[in-house]
Chain A
């Protein structure tokens, strides 16, 4: 039987944009970014086990603008996904379903993700993460 083209969940092309939608799709996108983050964590362990040369090659790969961008996106994803994940767990316990509450917490987790990521990235710089050595 020939498969018919059906609209794909979660219907991004149909829904009116609103903040809870932004938080929802961001949870999915940042989850994918964190999958990549888990790959990078596993590769970090492999490089460390292989020895100093492999470890230096691994860390050097991040010491350029593209590497900083990848790190920043993963850090941003970690903080946002963490905060929005707690929001989801609260929903599972039955809290925070009022529209105004859901809208407010969506803004809060997005703001938290951005602010925490910028602060954390600044802290990494202070620890010499982006210099040489």
Chain B
């Protein structure tokens, strides 16, 4: 046999990295979801851009619209966070800036997701303004 791994290693089914495949799979599964969500978002954009404030509020009164735009934002930010982490890992070598940027990346994505979805839900449930 030319498989260099031990039987135990093979049974565990993990490569040399042991972990990290979660990032790879998460990037692709969220990407597949975003194919659908982004096409839907782009189909709605002309109406939202052209319709102004009142149209946007009416639009968010539909539960389907609130759900899908929240998913688009959440899954999009998750996918963006994973992609940005790869860019930081590729280009920033010094340990402290690298770690700081990776943490900042998580904070920015999480904050935007929560702030954005709370805002969307507020408009959905009690309308905009005030």
Contact = CB atoms under 8 A, between A and B. Distances in A.
Nearest to B25: A92
Interface stretch (A16-24, A32-40, A94-102): A32-40
Task: Point out which of B34, B39, B49, B56 has the most chain A C-beta atoms below 10 A from its C-beta.
Answer: B49
A123 B129 contact: no
A111 interface: no
A65 interface: no
Task: Point out which of A46, A48, A86, A127 has the most chain B C-beta atoms below 10 A from its C-beta.
Answer: A48
Contacts of B39: 82
Contacts, number: 112
Q: Is the interface of A mostly helix, strand, loop or mixed?
A: helix
B107 interface: no
A contact residues, range: 35 or more
B contact residues, range: 35 or more
Contact of A78 (B38, B53, B122): B38
B7 interface: no
9 contacts: A10-B90, A28-B87, A32-B87, A38-B73, A48-B56, A49-B123, A51-B129, A89-B28, A120-B46
Task: Point out which of B52, B117, B128 has the most chain A C-beta atoms below 10 A from its C-beta.
Answer: B128
Interface in B38-87: 38-39, 42, 45-47, 49-50, 52-53, 56-57, 60, 69, 72-73, 76-77, 80, 83-84, 87
B112 A39 contact: yes
Interface of A: 3, 6, 8-10, 28, 31-32, 34-35, 38-39, 41-42, 45-46, 48-52, 55-56, 59, 78-79, 82, 85-86, 88-89, 92, 120, 123-124, 126-129, 133
Contacts of A92: 28
